[in-house]
């Protein structure tokens, strides 16, 4: 299903889980676009190119945003939407994945310890990364090498875009099996480091408002400036382009 120049995954939650479980033949990685990602993808900038490269190399693209899902419906397009926070929660808590070793990178040792305390029966692996590392730096390459040789079946990457997508892209050159999910702050929600919106707000597709109120300093640019940009693309009909920066 193509929308906003992005080939979205078509299927169900069970279909997606099946793909993640059956990654013994080759390495696959999942990206989870939201409104902010769509805007970055159209930028003629370094981060725009980095994110596009990551998306081009991804095997599965799952819509993370209820807002994006709603905008697609205006074009009579129904996107399968599975927010990264829900996907990660299900992977960690679903008994069907009880035998799957899940690696986590990007939350620090303290965050990982909280996760392990909350889910002591699950096989979890901490994958270390520097608190600050630039894409392509020696620290970045060292972290990808360490992650590539670590013991995990599914790796949850929480490094933020476009770093996490570039990280997964680098892993694809080094791993012959397993799956990775570029999940942003999904684990932070799971361990309570960040607070998710109440279920009613999620159902009404206004989780973005809850996050904006709770993190205005970090998110105002994404929602106050980013959403109108996307709406303009929708109204002007540019949402069906290839997703590259307009010429």
> What are the pLDDT digits (tens) for 107-146?
999 999 999 999 999 999 999 999 889 999 999 999 999 9
For residue 97, give the DSSP letter: G
Q: Does 245 fall in a domain?
A: no
Number of structural domains (the chain) is 1
H-only helix segments in 22-74: 35-41, 46-57, 66-74
Rounded Cα distance, 130 and 42, in Å: 29
Q: Does 35 fall in a domain?
A: yes
Mind listing the pLDDT tens digit for each residue in 208-219? 787 778 887 776
Rounded Cα distance, 168 and 28, in Å: 9
**42-46, 186-190, 214-218: range with lowest mean pLDDT:** 214-218
H-only helix segments in 8-155: 13-21, 35-41, 46-57, 66-74, 84-93, 108-118, 138-149
Angle of CA points 111, 113, 119, to nearest 5°: 110
Q: Does 246 fall in a domain?
A: no
Q: Does 247 fall in a domain?
A: no
Rounded Cα distance, 187 and 200, in Å: 21
Domain span including residue 117: 2-240
Q: Does 40 fall in a domain?
A: yes
């Amino acid at each position: 299903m193509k929308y906003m120049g992005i080939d979205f995954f078509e299927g169900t939650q069970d279909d997606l889980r099946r793909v993640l479980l059956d990654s013994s033949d080759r390495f696959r990685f999942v990206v989870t676009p939201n409104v902010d990602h769509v805007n970055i993808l159209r930028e003629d900038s370094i981060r725009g190119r980095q994110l596009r490269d990551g998306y081009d190399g991804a095997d599965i693209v799952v819509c993370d945003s209820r807002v994006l899902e709603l905008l697609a419906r205006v074009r009579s397009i129904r996107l399968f939407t599975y927010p990264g926070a829900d996907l990660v929660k299900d992977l960690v808590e679903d008994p069907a994945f009880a035998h799957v070793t899940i690696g986590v990178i990007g939350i620090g040792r303290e965050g990982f310890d909280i996760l392990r305390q909350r889910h002591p029966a699950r096989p979890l692996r901490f994958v270390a990364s520097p608190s600050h590392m630039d894409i392509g730096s020696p620290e970045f390459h060292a972290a990808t090498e360490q992650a590539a040789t670590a013991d995990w079946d599914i790796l949850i990457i929480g490094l933020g875009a476009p770093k996490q997508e570039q990280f997964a892209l680098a892993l694809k050159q080094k791993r012959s099996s397993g799956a990775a999910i570029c999940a942003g702050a999904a684990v932070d929600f799971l361990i309570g480091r960040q607070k998710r919106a109440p279920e009613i707000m999620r159902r009404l597709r206004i989780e973005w408002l809850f996050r904006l109120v709770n993190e205005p300093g970090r998110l105002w640019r994404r929602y106050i400036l980013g959403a109108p940009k996307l709406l303009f693309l929708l109204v002007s009909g540019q949402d069906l382009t290839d997703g590259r920066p307009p010429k």
